[in-house]
Amino acid sequence: MRITSAEVAALLLSIKVSLFSLVIMLPPGLLVGWLLAKHEFRGKSILNTLVMLPLVLPPVVSGYLLLILLSNNGPIGRLLSEIFNIEIIFTPFAVVIAISVISFPLLVRGILTGISSVPTELENAARTLGASPLKVFFTITLPLAHRGIIGGIILGFSKSLGEFGATIMVAGNIQGKTQTIALAIFNAVHLGQDITAFRLVLISTILAFISIWITERITISNNHI
């Protein structure tokens, strides 16, 4: 009962796109989390609603909206294909976009909780000690918010690994190209390949287990805060 190359490909693709999505979404996630946690500005509630929307929308709906935007007839898709000659739909990049949109609210939630927990008095104290707002962010806010931020990262990453609805809408289910582990499980069950399905479910469970374990390790390691 050996793991097949298709299964390995699905697993690797899931990990790759999830990591890639995390890397590109973390900076905007930190920015949005910081803005929502520490600032008052016009349109704050609109920004909050927009960011959190994918959390409440059915993923299939988010996926459908993305499909309309990104297809060759859609406003963004047309621009990309005419100017750069790039097609996104049904490529691994479409997977990245789909899982990024779906996991972003979870990432921001964690960051927002973490940054909100940092007392403004400490940030003010750092300002009076000569630190610019940017230095305060990197030397005080970020380190003290690390629990929430790591929580958001793990939650977002796990969501990315298992995303199904939006991915299948914009990226399809192409084996070896856009078939992530969630899609592969769906495929296997659909085709009655119970053993394959069971193996993939087991791998997913182990991945989830590891991510929770890492979170715990990281949060416990610094006990001064």
Count of residues in contact with another protein, rule CB under 8 A: 20
Which of 12, 56, 125, 212 is in the footprint of another protein by CB under 8 A?
125
54, 156 Cβ separation under 8 angstroms: no
Place of tokens 């069950």: 189
Q: Is 143 in the site for another protein (CB under 8 A)?
A: yes
Q: Is 130 in the site for another protein (CB under 8 A)?
A: yes
Which of 4, 49, 72, 222 is in the footprint of another protein by CB under 8 A?
222
100: left (phi over 0), alpha (psi -120 to 50) or beta: alpha
40 or 121: whose CB is closer to another protein?
121
Alpha carbon distance, N-terminus to C-terminus of the chain: 48
**Alpha carbon distances (Å) from 218 to 29, 120, 186:** 20, 24, 33
CB of 68 to another protein, least distance (A): 45
**Alpha carbon distances (Å) from 35 to 27, 29, 222:** 12, 10, 26
Segment interacting with another protein (CB under 8 A) among 48-56, 98-106, 133-141, 200-208: 133-141
Maximum pairwise Cα distance, the chain = 66
42 or 224: whose CB is closer to another protein?
224
CA nearest to 221, candidates 143, 139, 153: 143
CB of 126 to another protein, least distance (A): 7
Q: Is 39 in the site for another protein (CB under 8 A)?
A: no
Q: Is 138 in the site for another protein (CB under 8 A)?
A: no
Segment interacting with another protein (CB under 8 A) among 2-10, 84-92, 130-138, 187-195: 130-138
Place of tokens 């000690």: 129
Which of 12, 50, 60, 225 is in the footprint of another protein by CB under 8 A?
225
How far is residue 57 CA from its own chain's centroid? 16
136 or 161: whose CB is closer to another protein?
136
Which of 25, 140, 153, 207 is in the footprint of another protein by CB under 8 A?
140
Q: What are phi and psi of 74, to 5 degrees?
A: -80, 160
- Write down the number of H helices and E strands in the chain: 12, 0
Report how far residue 138's alpha carbon sits from residue 143's, in angstroms, rounded to the nearest whole number: 7
Which of 144, 154, 155, 170 is in the footprint of another protein by CB under 8 A?
144
Q: Is 117 in the site for another protein (CB under 8 A)?
A: no
Residues that bind another protein (CB under 8 A): 119, 121-122, 124-133, 139-140, 143-144, 222, 224-225
